[in-house]
Amino acid sequence: MTQTQDVVELILRDHRRMEELFRRMRSVEADRAAALKEFADLLVAHALAEESEVYPALKRYKDIDDEEVEHGEHEHDEGNKALLDLLEVEEVGSEEWDAKLEELVKAITHHADEEERTILNGARENVTAERRAELGAAFLRERERRLKAGCG
């Protein structure tokens, strides 16, 4: 089975993985700390790869709204702040931890939903499959580089 290089599909795949990690972090039966570590690494690598490889390229397309791309970058900052707030809570599974987790879920879910409806739909409709594959390869390279560096 060949893996897709389409940047839209790769970003969507990461979004679905983040949703799965949210479910694990909410589960009292799961290793919540391990799920948080994986989530933190993925979120930071994903956002940095989007900001360095994907967003600048998409801003060049007239049918993709620059303001939506810039708004996506702003939402990355909000997600990072919510992640830091959760990471600062000492006791995993405490009431405070659960409350901060829900703030993180809300911030990331909002961003992913908006990004999928605006930026990614715009990319799917206005960027050729070949260019999406090029962007996907660049996104994956940068994301993997960040993951190996332990960026979360």
CA–CA–CA angle 110, 113, 119 (5° rounding): 120
pTM: 0.92
**30 secondary structure, DSSP code:** S
Q: Hey, where are the domains in the chain?
A: 7-148
pLDDT, tens digit (0-9, with 9 covering 90-100), for 71-117: 888 899 999 999 999 999 999 999 999 999 999 999 999 999 999 99
E-assigned strands of 1-152?
A: none
